[in-house]
A and B are shown apart, each in its own frame.
Chain A
Amino acid sequence: GQQLNQSPQSMFIQEGEDVSMNCTSSSIFNTWLWYKQDPGEGPVLLIALYKAGELTSNGRLTAQFGITRKDSFLNISASIPSDVGIYFCAEQIQGAQKLVFGQGTRLTINP
């Protein structure tokens, strides 16, 4: 089946640093989604990308849909303590409605 490779698996950074994570796929997809999961809660959508090359920002978050349609990255600028959590990329399978998720990137921030 489809595979999403998300990296890095974990990150330990200082407050104020910028963060970058990415996802790659073996297949071409039409939609990339980035979710964040706070401890003890379900994932929540951060950014959705629907077009190859699309660059979208949401506050300090920026995400891009790769031009090859097989990759995406998420950047967080000037990290703050509430950015701690697990970040997931997800793809919507072409011709279907279900989502496939990456393994997640666990972000830890040292104050």
Chain B
Amino acid sequence: DAEITQSPRHKITETGRQVTLACHQTWNHNNMFWYRQDLGHGLRLIHYSYGVQDTNKGEVSDGYSVSRSNTEDLPLTLESAASSQTSVYFCASQGANTGELFFGEGSRLTVL
């Protein structure tokens, strides 16, 4: 069965370190998204991509970057982690016909 997977599921890092969260989908979807989930804020869009070599900023993109070198992967990088980036991060890919988002299981990041 096609799926979307995130890794790592849990990570603890220190302020100033570079962190990369991986996202891999096997549906061959063009559209992929990264959201962060925080109490009281719901899901906020960080970055998204509509295809290979395409990346776009979402509403909370500062301090994050993504790259899209193939259809299957959209890694999210925190260049210099800050405590404000402690959160649960969700990757999603989007079905072409319905617009439905399929989410990964999330990556919980703690920045100390």
Residues in chain A within 8 A of chain B (CB atoms): 1, 6, 9, 31, 33, 35, 40-45, 48, 88, 90, 92, 97-104
Residues in chain B within 8 A of chain A (CB atoms): 31, 33, 35, 40-45, 48, 50, 58-59, 90, 92, 94, 98-101, 103-106
Q: Which residue of A lies closest to B43 (CB)?
A: A101
Contact of A43 with B43 in the complex, beta carbons under 8 Å? yes
Contact of B101 with A99 in the complex, beta carbons under 8 Å? yes
8 additional A-B pairs beyond A42-B90, A42-B92, A43-B103, beta carbons within 8 Å, are: A33-B101, A43-B43, A48-B98, A48-B99, A92-B99, A99-B45, A101-B35, A103-B40
Interface of B is mostly: strand
> Given contacts A42-B90, A98-B33, is CB(A88)–CB(B43) below 8 Å?
yes
User: Chain A residues near B45 (CB, 8 Å)?
Assistant: 98-100
Contact of A97 with B42 in the complex, beta carbons under 8 Å? no
Contact of A97 with B100 in the complex, beta carbons under 8 Å? no
Contact of B104 with A97 in the complex, beta carbons under 8 Å? no
User: Chain A residues near B103 (CB, 8 Å)?
Assistant: 42-44
User: Chain B residues near A90 (CB, 8 Å)?
Assistant: 101
Complex alpha-carbon distance, A31 and B98, angstroms: 10
Q: Which residue of B lies closest to A97 (CB)?
A: B31
